[in-house]
Amino acid sequence: MGWATGHIERLRRGETVSFRPRGDSMRGKISSGQLVTVAPLGDRALAVGDIVLCKVAGSQYLHLVKAIRGERYQIGNNRGGVNGWTGRGNIFGVVTRVEP
């Protein structure tokens, strides 16, 4: 169980979630404590630059899609870091709004 487990469960049920993530890994896109709205992924096509709530190698992230190869997505932060590759089944939602 991780910091986003409850949000992921709600997204899997088709609900949109809002929360205030903490940390500086997405500074420049999302500041620590800003209100973020995440919609379920559904059939939505993903693009490089989308911010997603996902799981990579067992860890939960609210990070960027950095690259796409077929049905594999490279996930990383906004400071140059890369978390690794994951499949669509481990991407639960897409950020649709960031507020103060």
At residue 89's C-alpha, the angle toward residues 24 and 70, to 5°, is 90
Which amino acid is residue 15, in one-letter code? Answer: E
Residue pair 95/80 in contact (Cβ under 8 Å)? The answer is no
Is the whole-model pTM more than 0.85? Answer: yes
**Hey, CA dihedral for 48, 50, 54, 58, is it positive or negative?**
positive
pLDDT at position 91, please? 98
Please say if the pLDDT value at position 1 is more than 90.
no
| CA pair distance 28, 12, nearest whole angstrom | 28
Mean predicted confidence (pLDDT) in 68-95: 97
Domain of 56, CATH number, reads 2.10.109.10
The per-residue pLDDT for range 87-99, each reduced to its tens digit, is 999 999 999 999 9
Taking the C-alpha atoms of residue 63 and residue 3, their distance in angstroms, rounded to an integer, is 14
Q: What is the arithmetic mean of pLDDT over 3-24?
A: 96
CB atoms within 10 A of CB 65: 20
Model confidence over 17-72: pLDDT tens digits?
999 999 999 999 999 999 999 999 999 999 999 999 999 999 999 999 999 999 99
The answer, yes or no, to whether residue 80 has pLDDT greater than 90, is yes
Range of the domain at 94: 5-99
Q: How many domains does the chain have?
A: 1
Q: What is the mean pLDDT of residues 77-96?
A: 97
C-alpha count within 13 angstroms, C-beta hemisphere, residue 47: 2
Specify the pLDDT at position 100: 87
